[in-house]
Structure 1
Amino acid sequence: MRSFLINKYTKGSLQLAEVPIPKAGDSEVLIEIHASGVNLLDSKIKTGEFKLILPYKMPLILGHDVAGTVIQVGKNVKKFKIGDEVYSRPADHHIGTFAEFIAINENDVAFKPKNLSMEEAAAIPLVALTVWQALVEKANLKKNQKIFIQAGSGGVGTIALQLAKYLGATIATTASEKSFDLLKSLGADVLIDYKTQDFEAILKDYDVVLNSQDTKTLKKSLNILKPGGKIISISGPPTPTFAKEIRAPWFVKIILTLVSLGIRKKAKKLDIDYSFLFMHADGEQLQEITKLIEVGVIKPVIDKVFPFEQTNSALEYVESGRAKGKVVIRLK
């Protein structure tokens, strides 16, 4: 099968290579890939930015989002059958959706929403699971609470706005002014033009921040939260608690303790709960998200769809930061 892979950590392009079609393990389904979502995580893994917390063996096929059709099932698989249309965010160390086929554990797979195309479905898993785990699991976001979602027009932001609105929160977000109409339609209440306005001067007494930006923005975000508020960062720095969750080696725990020390101390002084989220695969959560999609609560926002042959161009476009919503690769 055709695949886009790397043989070593690199800032260069992915290589198009022929590799064997995987076989479904006892608890796996083999999926013929129709479409694959592209994420900044793919770029960060490619360059080795996450090799300390997520070391991969080479060669490595990248890609963390998939929508397609089940063509083979393992002997222990109970939920799926051949011909089912599914989507998934494969588990870490089992990624590889920039290819024509992938075998995934059935626990990480969900039935594709009936009202979405394959391209639309491929735009959902990673960002929607990230948002679910941040807002539902970690933040326990409640009706009438106030949440600041950074970069509302990005892949995570467009889904986070919709889920936060469904949960009954008041939402502030940052974007360029040309994205304001889109973000209003997705649920944003307070719109801040990051080019001309300072969110720290506008927002105060917020309950939750979803941080996806740099350390400077993270530190400023602490100042808009009320005491007892929560800040969940998907862009770092990782914490000792996260190191424990992934059972990292002792030296990684020490490194993460040091790199997050400043932000943790400042958060503690302000009586704010700081946590780092590196989302995990979860088919059951994805099935809950499917229900919200099928009743119209959440809809994917897609910027561009690239043909499979242009996977490198798709990744470069995501890296540029210009995408409004998600970027998808079409295989079929």
Structure 2
Amino acid sequence: MRAMTIHEYGGPEVFRLEELPKPTPGPRDILVRVCAAAVNPVDWKVRSGGQRNIIRLRFPWVLGLDVSGVVEAVGAEVTRFRVGDEVWSSPTHRRPGSYAEYMCIAEDEAAKKPKNLSHDEAASIPLVGLTAYQCVVEKGRLTRGQTLLVHAGSGGVGAFAIQLGKHLGAHVVTTCSGKNADFVRDLGAERVVDYTKESFADVLENVDVILDSMGEPAFDGNLKVIRKGGRISNITVDVPAQVARYGAFFSLFTLAWTMIWMHLWPLLKKGVHLRHVIKRCDGRQLEIIASLVEAGVIRPVVERVFPLDHVAEAHRVSETHRARGKLVLHVAD
């Protein structure tokens, strides 16, 4: 099978197009013929070595944490899928691999893809959908009438979270540049803060739930605008910067201290519960998300589709932080 591999940490130029053996599914795995994958920021952070303190690769390595495709074979203990089923998934970071023509996925990490989406569209959703759902619904416990602040509303997680917040009956506020204001309003944002002209910390107050994709730079502002007893779901800290400054080993300790501080200080100061959310692979939750997509509640947001062997170009675009929604890799028809 064709696969885009990396044999070392580095820039986008480290990708190689290679022929690899087709993987063999374990007893609880499904073998998926990949039709489409997607690029996420975590992919290039891992590729660059910026997360090598917490994610250690065994080279050669195949990246990719979003997939939409067709079941090619099933393990002996699989009960939820049959050969020919169209599925989608965001598998564990310990077992990525959608930058290839085939990959194995644990049965409980997959679900039937939405019937109303193409594979290219479907591949844009699993990782950001699970992340946003777990931030807003599980950890944020957002309810009707509350105010939800979504940072970076034009990005992949942000675009999904805005639509989800609107569906749940919340008042959705988001930050983005002025050029994306109409785009995020169309998704469901009631108020848009143009970060190029004003600080969200100066114009917002009494926010109930925050989905924070900015990390340390937004920490003080988040604490200022959140109401007492509110909830913050954080999905990023600047791990690459800590690795670059302290090295892979010592950055484990600085990262641990950063996480302790980010969780403890909001609780002590305002009774705010901050949770760092790492996407959990959950096929049943993907079924819920699929039903929302099929009902028209959530729509995919795809900035651009690349052929598989143009993954280096897709990474370069993603690293600009200027993509609206998701960047997709078309692997097969």
What CA RMSD, in Å, does the superposition of the two structures yield over aligned residues? 1.7
Unmatched 5+ stretches in structure 1: 239-250
Whole-angstrom CA distance in 1 between matches of 2:210 and 2:63? 30
Contact 2:215 2:235 in 1 (8 A): no
User: Are 1:303 and 2:300 matched, yes or no?
Assistant: no
Amino acid at match of 1:266: W
Matched residue SS, 2:166:
helix
How many Å apart are 1:118 and its aligned residue?
0.5
- Match of 2:327? 327
Q: Deviations for 1:5-38, whole angstroms, at most 9, x for unmatched residues?
A: 2122223422222211101111111111110011
Contact 1:36 1:98 in 2 (8 A): yes
Whole-angstrom CA distance in 1 between matches of 2:58 and 2:181? 42
Contact 1:305 1:329 in 2 (8 A): yes
Contact 1:92 1:280 in 2 (8 A): no
How many Å apart are 1:219 and its aligned residue?
2.2
- Match of 2:291? 291
* Structure 1 runs (4+) greater than 6 angstroms displaced: none
How many Å apart are 1:94 and its aligned residue?
0.9
* Map 1:1-332 → 2, pairs under 5 A: 1-13=1-13, 14-236=15-237, 254-267=253-266, 268-332=268-332
Amino acid at match of 1:263: M
Contact 2:154 2:184 in 1 (8 A): yes
Matched residue SS, 1:164:
helix
Amino acid at match of 1:127: V
Whole-angstrom CA distance in 1 between matches of 2:141 and 2:36? 32
- Match of 1:246? none
Amino acid at match of 2:8: K
Matched residue SS, 2:210:
strand
Whole-angstrom CA distance in 2 between matches of 1:12 and 1:124? 23
Amino acid at match of 1:179: N
Contact 1:38 1:314 in 2 (8 A): yes
Contact 1:232 1:275 in 2 (8 A): yes
Amino acid at match of 2:302: I
How many Å apart are 1:56 and its aligned residue?
2.5
Unmatched 5+ stretches in structure 2: 240-249
Amino acid at match of 2:88: Y
Whole-angstrom CA distance in 2 between matches of 1:172 and 1:166? 14
How many Å apart are 1:39 and its aligned residue?
0.4
How many Å apart are 1:289 and its aligned residue?
0.4
How many Å apart are 1:183 and its aligned residue?
0.9
- The TM-score normalised by the length of structure 2 is 0.92
How many Å apart are 1:261 and its aligned residue?
4.0
Whole-angstrom CA distance in 1 between matches of 2:295 and 2:67? 22
How many Å apart are 1:330 and its aligned residue?
0.4
Aligned-residue sequence identity (percent) comes to 38
- Match of 2:247? none
Amino acid at match of 1:175: C
